[in-house]
Amino acid sequence: MSMYQVKPIYEGGTKIDLPTCMYKLPNVHEQRASSCFSEHAHQNGEPDSAVRALEARQDEIMRKLFELKAAVDGLAKTVATPDADLDLTVSCSLASPSPTACTFTGTADLDTLLGKDLGALRDIVINANPAQPPLTLLVLHGLLCQRYRVLSAVHVHSSVSGVPPQLLSCLGARLTDGSARNLFQLGFTLIWKDVPKLQMKFSVRNMCPVEGEANVARFLFRLLSPDPSDVGQATLVDSWVDTAFFQLAEGGAKEQAAALRSLNAALGRQPWLTGPELSLADIACYCCAVRSGAAAAAPTHVQRWMKACENLGYFSRAQLQ
């Protein structure tokens, strides 16, 4: 929001004697520019999706700028003092995610989400079949990277061979090697493996492996933002995720068409699938639509929504195929 702030033209503090013979109204000039904006949004009943998308993009730009600044600072430090530890600079650049940088707000405390810290990296291991790249998880990985310091790694299991190069680099470039692993908050290890169903292993001692891309996506999304407090809303998101994976991605032509119709109907009423905010439902549906190739013949509202998704930037990972 800092972009919208301008210096007040009028000094709000000055008291003006007003006649009291008439009824009273609040002073327009005393309100801040920002609250003015939110008031404007409230007056319209719901925020404009275009403004939100613009905001998100600006946040993204700001975040990137912050990162760049931190990286340059770190680099300057190494150049100025050659003895400085390289690991430290990396941690500096990573440790400065500004609060505005994130699209999703909520408690960022991994300790409360994932249990107590044992002094080691919390590594999420995902076994995926290279024949079916988990696009949703790649998008969610991008979002996790914005929020946390994530150590990502891609491996190829001995059960498969000949994995295409774009799958090997699907989590972005490997971080400058040599940085200590315990400086990261979260590990994201993607293993291309001959598995019939996508599988996530996190805490092997007290969690059974989670199967299915949809379920893993739910788990990852909860690290970003807590479940909607409204039970109905939460169920709606879940049901959209199921629609995405069972009808859009795996269903026949008829089922796909039906799913697209219901998507269109929902998107006619609101900017995102489950209301004014982007949710897991949008991510799942978008990725599944891209995977199944249903995007080309999509109805108008769906087309608009897909454009909106693409404008957000972090969906580019889903263009893998």
| 240 vs 284: CA distance, rounded Å | 8
Binding mask 174-193 for another protein (x = CB under 8 A): ---xx-xxx------x-x-x
When binding is defined by CB under 8 A, the residue of 53, 62, 88, 234 that contacts another protein is 88
Q: Is 217 in contact with 284 (CB distance < 8 Å)?
A: yes
Does residue 75 bind another protein (CB under 8 A)?
no
Q: Is 225 in contact with 104 (CB distance < 8 Å)?
A: yes
| 302 vs 262: CA distance, rounded Å | 10
End-to-end CA distance of the chain: 36
How do beta strands 210-211 and 199-201 pair? Answer: antiparallel
When binding is defined by CB under 8 A, the residue of 93, 127, 146, 292 that contacts another protein is 127
Total binding residues toward another protein, as defined by CB under 8 A: 28
When binding is defined by CB under 8 A, the residue of 39, 87, 230, 242 that contacts another protein is 87
**Per-residue b/e over 60-74, b at no fewer than 16 CB within 10 Å?**
beebeebbeebbeeb
How many CB atoms within 10 Å of residue 1? 12
Nearer to another protein, 68 or 207 (CB): 207
Does residue 79 bind another protein (CB under 8 A)?
no
Nearer to another protein, 199 or 292 (CB): 199
Residue 73 sits at φ, ψ, to 5 deg, of -55, -50
Binding mask 134-153 for another protein (x = CB under 8 A): -------------------x
When binding is defined by CB under 8 A, the residue of 123, 211, 238, 255 that contacts another protein is 123
Q: Which residues bind another protein (CB under 8 A)?
A: 85, 87-88, 118-121, 123, 125, 127, 153, 155-159, 177-178, 180-182, 189, 191, 193, 201, 203-205
